[in-house]
Each structure stands twice: as structure tokens, then as C-alpha cells.
């Protein structure tokens, strides 16, 4: 279909939320000449974050993460640095140095800073002609085709941390210990005099502050690092299965609004951006969004949930064993890669994990009952699609 036909077929595409999932969708639509408008509730991008570092993981696919970004139409105009060496500590505080043949992850920054991922994506979108309506919180959908990329709707995982300045050289540190991060991990990332330290919890959220304090104490007991001008930050993530928009709906849910997340460790960025790309592809080609997500995202999510179940049952003893095992290997990329394949074993574990896992499907943005706002409509759709899957 040529551009004129596409334009007249779809009119303006409205996208709610200016996160990575929405931007990838917008960029790919606007590139083809489709008029695209993003509605963002805040006055800028990246307000959900606070200049904290995140990682675009590079272990779950054979394709390098940078190649992946290119394949979904994204250029690197933001801070994006490869990290191949990491220092990891188990519950007994023994240090394990692990190296990889290709970057384990690419460090990026989130938030409003000029070099953040959020600002980079915003610039690419604007350059392609995407319009952004700021301070525009959408509570009810009244557009013909709408992409909803409004981020997590509930907290299945919580992160609490600090960003700070330091004289420490660039480095990556990870910590596995249920006393500081129940069923999760803590991390310290340093890049050019700036650092991010956080603990990531999968349970016992009421005691987040104490876990964070213990995590910080543990980190400082093993890493001699100066912490200058610390500022707190925090956030949460949401993993939901069976949330993929149905094809007869004019609402395409992308990113964490759809529950697309890595259940194992919360590396949701690749899921978010991939889903934005698939939403654009579905609009441009007429392919079923449900089918695209079922083929390209669902298997990753199922395997990640199986991995979460396995990880959650390791306990402190298991973490130590795993780190010892990994240390004996020259390059852990292949080992990690293998864990993300939907093997028969992972499919069996997934069946257990599916029964065990319960998302906290509470929408923090909605207090309505029986109304037709997007959130309530979405909940109805979600429970209906669960019925369909179960049948």
C-alpha cells in the first residue's frame, strides 16, 4: 500500500505515553509518512526515571542488542556503552569476576538528561515528524486506532536505589543475596563519574527501605567507592501474561502497559521496543498484532517466567553454587543465551510457573468501577482473553 493510501486508511495514529515502546512505534509509523501524535501526561520525557543507568541486555538472543535496535529502526543517538566485565558477589561476599566475549549489556541512561535513551528517542521521533502533546493525560480513548504505551500498571517487582557521583572507574557489580534483595538482585553501575546503585525485590515490598539499607551496607563493605551527592530513586515493573490486544480491538497495548516484561530480572526494554515495532508493523502491513506478539514476544515471556520460577527456588545456597559454576567458564554469554531458549524443559517448568505466578493486577491509575475508561476496558479485555486462552 502506498503512503497516500495508508494515510487515508488510518488517518492520524494516536499514541498514549512517551516511553520507549511508544517511541519505537511512532518512529516506524512516521517514517512511512503516517501522521502520528503522542500524548504524554508529563511536560517532558523520562520523568518516571531519575538519570539512573539501566542495561539493554545482550544475552537473550544471538543477535547483538545494537543490531536489534537497528533492525527495529532505531539509531544510537544516546549514551550506549558496552560492558563486558562484571564483578559479582554471592551471599558469602566472595567476589566472582565474569567476562564475556561480546558485551553482556549496553549501559544506557533513563530520564530527562540530554544523553538519556528517552531524549534520544524523542529526538528521532520529532525528526521524523511525530507530534508530541505534553501535559496531556489521557483517561478515555476517543481515537479510531490507538497505541497505548503507558508503562506498568502494578508492581510485581520493586527497585529502590540511589544515583551519585564518584571517582571510581567505570565498572559493573552485581549482588545475589535474599537478605538484601529477596528473589532478586542488587546492582552497581559506574560510568564516567556517575553511578547507580539499587536493590531489586520480588517480594516483601513493605520492607523495601530496610533491604535497600542492608544492600547499600553490603555493597560498601566489598566495593571501596566514594558516594558523592546521592539522590534517591525507585520504580516498579509489571509482568502480565494473556494481555495481548485482540485483533478486533482498535487499542494496541505495547510495552509494560501490555505486561510485556522479562519475568526473570525485569529487563523490559527490549520487550517494550519490540512490541512498539510490532504494533507499527501491524498497522502498516495489516498483519495481526495478536499473532505477531504471540510469535515474537509470548515465547520469550513464557521462558522468562520459567526462569523466574527456577531462580526464585534457588535460595542463597543456590546463588552461591551458580556463581561458582559461572566463574569456571571463560565466556558466559552462551550459557545465558541457552537459558532463554524455549526448550522442552522450559516449557514443562513454565506450566508450573504459570500456576505459581500471580501478577498484582491492580491499576494504580484507576479507581473506577464499571466505567469505560481505557483501564477498565483493558481489564475486561484482559480477563476475557484469559478465558479464551484457558478454553
Ligand X SMILES: Cc1cc2nc3c(=O)[nH]c(=O)nc-3n(C[C@H](O)[C@H](O)[C@H](O)COP(=O)(O)OP(=O)(O)OC[C@H]3O[C@@H](n4cnc5c(N)ncnc54)[C@H](O)[C@@H]3O)c2cc1C
Return residues touching ligand X (CB under 6 A).
Answer: 16-22, 39-42, 47-48, 54-56, 137-138, 149-151, 159, 235-237, 255-257, 261, 266-269, 272
Grid coordinates given for 309: 520460577
- Distance in Å, CB of 151 to ligand X, minimum: 2
Smallest separation, CB 295 to ligand X (Å): 20
- Closer to ligand X at the Cβ: 91 or 276? 276
CB of 389 to ligand X, least distance (A): 22
Q: Which residue, 103 or 235, is less far from ligand X as judged by CB? A: 235
Q: Which is nearer to ligand X, 33 or 296 (CB)?
A: 296
CB of 5 to ligand X, least distance (A): 29
Residue with smaller CB distance to ligand X, 174 or 320: 174
**b/e burial code for range 101-115 (CB count within 10 A of at least 16 → b):** eebbbbbbbbbbbee
Q: How far is the CB of 181 from ligand X (least distance, A)?
A: 13
Nearer to ligand X, 59 or 320 (CB): 59
Identity of the residue, 347 or 364, whose beta carbon is nearer to ligand X in the bound complex: 364
Cell numbers linked to 361 = 493486577
In angstroms, what is the minimal distance from the CB of 1 to ligand X? 27
Residue 90 or residue 237: which is nearer to ligand X going by CB? 237
What is the distance between the alpha carbons of residues 170 and 349, in angstroms, rounded to a whole number?
38
Least distance to ligand X, CB of residue 4, Å: 30
Amino acid at each position: 500500500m502506498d503512503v497516500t493510501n495508508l494515510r487515508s486508511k488510518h488517518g492520524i495514529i494516536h499514541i498514549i505515553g512517551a516511553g520507549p515502546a511508544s517511541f519505537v512505534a511512532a518512529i516506524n509509523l512516521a517514517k512511512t509518512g503516517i501522521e502520528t501524535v503522542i500524548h504524554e501526561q508529563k511536560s517532558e520525557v523520562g520523568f518516571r526515571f531519575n538519570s539512573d543507568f539501566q542495561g539493554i541486555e545482550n544475552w537473550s538472543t544471538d543477535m547483538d542488542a545494537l543490531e536489534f535496535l537497528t533492525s527495529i529502526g532505531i539509531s544510537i543517538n544516546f549514551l550506549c556503552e558496552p560492558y563486558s566485565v562484571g564483578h559479582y558477589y554471592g551471599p558469602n561476599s566472595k567476589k566472582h569476576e565474569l567476562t564475556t566475549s561480546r558485551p553482556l549489556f549496553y549501559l544506557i541512561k533513563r530520564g530527562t538528561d540530554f544523553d538519556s535513551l528517552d531524549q534520544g528517542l524523542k529526538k528521532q521521533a520529532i525528526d521524523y515528524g511525530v507530534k508530541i502533546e505534553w501535559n496531556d493525560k489521557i483517561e478515555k480513548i476517543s481515537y479510531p486506532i490507538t497505541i497505548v504505551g503507558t508503562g506498568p500498571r502494578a508492581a510485581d517487582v520493586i527497585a529502590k536505589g540511589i544515583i551519585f557521583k564518584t571517582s571510581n572507574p567505570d565498572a559493573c557489580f552485581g549482588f545475589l543475596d535474599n537478605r538484601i534483595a529477596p528473589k532478586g538482585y542488587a546492582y552497581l553501575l559506574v560510568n564516567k563519574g556517575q553511578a547507580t546503585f539499587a536493590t531489586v525485590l520480588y517480594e516483601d515490598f513493605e520492607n523495601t527501605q530496610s533491604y535497600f539499607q542492608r544492600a547499600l551496607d553490603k555493597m560498601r563493605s566489598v566495593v571501596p567507592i566514594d558516594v558523592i551527592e546521592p539522590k534517591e530513586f525507585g520504580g516498579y515493573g509489571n509482568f502480565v501474561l494473556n494481555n495481548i490486544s485482540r485483533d478486533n480491538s482498535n487499542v494496541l497495548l505495547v510495552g509494560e502497559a501490555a505486561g510485556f516484561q522479562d519475568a526473570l530480572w525485569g529487563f523490559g526494554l527490549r520487550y517494550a521496543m519490540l512490541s512498539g515495532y510490532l504494533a507499527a508493523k501491524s498497522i502498516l502491513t495489516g498483519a495481526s498484532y495478536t499473532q505477531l506478539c504471540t510469535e515474537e514476544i509470548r515465547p520469550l515471556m513464557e521462558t522468562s517466567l520459567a526462569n523466574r520460577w527456577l531462580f526464585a527456588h534457588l535460595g542463597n545456597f543456590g546463588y552461591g553454587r551458580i556463581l561458582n559454576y559461572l566463574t569456571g567458564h571463560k565466556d558466559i554469554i552462551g550459557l545465558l543465551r541457552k537459558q532463554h531458549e524455549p526448550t522442552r524443559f522450559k516449557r514443562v517448568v513454565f506450566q508450573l510457573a504459570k500456576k505459581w505466578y500471580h501478577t498484582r493486577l491492580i491499576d494504580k491509575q484507576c479507581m473506577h468501577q464499571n466505567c469505560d475508561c481505557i483501564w477498565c476496558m483493558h481489564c475486561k479485555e484482559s480477563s476475557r482473553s484469559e478465558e479464551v486462552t484457558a478454553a
